[in-house]
């Protein structure tokens, strides 16, 4: 079974621009969660989508948004990029019910200059 | 995350030595997950513990959950260079309806050949 895939793997953007990251979950998984990882803050939860609905949201500004499609693929968008948005963005998929065993993708490394 | 504290933050061991990493929660644990991460890459799921006293093993890695102490430990026997990486514990805290893992700060393990 193919794992979680994320595209692109690396991205360089300029302050003020916006960016869209994509995540394809494991086949059959209905939940996709997004995390931001930085050296200073560690791994932090952004949001989770289940059956096209946002089910949970972390403590991030409204510039961070996401959506999920009917095939469970998910996208994350960050508008008006700031230097502090430079991070490794990870998505994880799971079946969606208890237990919440999640499988992570390789991540997208975003650098904002 | 202050809700999950990992210790030590970093560890250097000689190949063949045993080691233990601890993860302590400030809240009641309902599910505790251990992941391994190679630098800049995605997380690899190692084990999930759900019940107090539960112990699981995978190859030379054993994890235990002490519900009363709100603590989990990860023990590696006869460490190898392939064990090197960052070990992260994650937990489900019972205030969210969906998938939201809170992670500890990670333990960086180096194994000297």
Site from B3, B42, B95 to mutate, A interface, most A CB atoms within 10 angstroms: B42
Return the DSSP state at B57: E
pLDDT of residue A100: 67
Mean pLDDT for all residues in chain A: 93
Q: What pLDDT shows up at residue A2?
A: 80
Cβ contact A112:A13 at 8 Å: yes
Q: Of the candidates A27, A61, A25, A67, which has an alpha carbon nearest to the alpha carbon of residue A48?
A: A67
Digits of tens for pLDDT over chain B (113 positions)?
Answer: 578 999 999 999 999 999 999 999 998 877 789 999 988 788 999 999 987 788 999 889 999 998 888 899 999 999 999 999 999 999 877 655 555 778 999 999 999 99
Q: Do B45 and A4 touch (CB under 8 A)?
A: no
Residue whose pair of structure tokens reads 């994320």 in the numeric block: A6
A101 contacts B45? CB cut-off 8 A: yes
**pLDDT for position A57:** 87
Residue of B nearest to A47 (CA): B100
Q: How far is A43 from chain B (nearest CA, A)?
A: 6
Asked if residues B58 and B5 have their Cβ atoms less than 8 Å apart, the reply is: no
Give, rounded to a whole angstrom, the gap between the first and last alpha carbons of chain A. Answer: 37
Contact: B99, A105; criterion CB under 8 Å: no
> Is there a contact between A104 and B50 if contact means CB atoms under 8 Å apart?
no
CB spacing of B99 vs A102 below 8 angstroms: yes
From A33, A58, A109, residue closest to B40, measured CB to CB: A109
């Amino acid at each position: 079974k193919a794992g979680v895939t994320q595209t692109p793997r690396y991205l360089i953007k300029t302050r003020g621009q916006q960016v869209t990251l994509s995540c394809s979950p494991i086949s059959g998984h209905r939940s996709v969660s997004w995390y931001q990882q930085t050296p200073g803050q560690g791994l932090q939860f952004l949001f989770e989508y289940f059956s096209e609905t946002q089910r949970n949201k972390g403590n991030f500004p409204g510039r961070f948004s996401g959506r999920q499609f009917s095939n469970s693929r998910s996208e994350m968008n960050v508008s008006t990029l700031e230097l502090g948005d430079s991070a490794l963005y990870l998505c994880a998929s799971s079946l969606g019910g208890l237990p919440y065993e999640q499988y992570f993708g390789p991540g997208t490394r975003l650098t904002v200059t | 995350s202050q809700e999950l504290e990992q210790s030590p933050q970093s560890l250097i061991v000689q190949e063949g030595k045993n080691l233990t990493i601890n993860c302590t929660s400030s809240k009641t644990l309902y599910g505790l997950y251990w992941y391994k991460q190679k630098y800049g890459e995605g997380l690899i799921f190692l084990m999930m513990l759900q019940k107090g006293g539960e112990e699981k093993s995978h190859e030379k890695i054993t994890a235990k959950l002490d519900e009363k102490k709100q603590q989990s430990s990860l023990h590696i026997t006869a460490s190898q260079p392939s064990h090197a990486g960052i070990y992260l514990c994650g937990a489900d805290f019972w205030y969210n309806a969906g998938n939201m893992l809170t992670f500890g700060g990670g333990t960086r393990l180096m194994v000297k050949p």
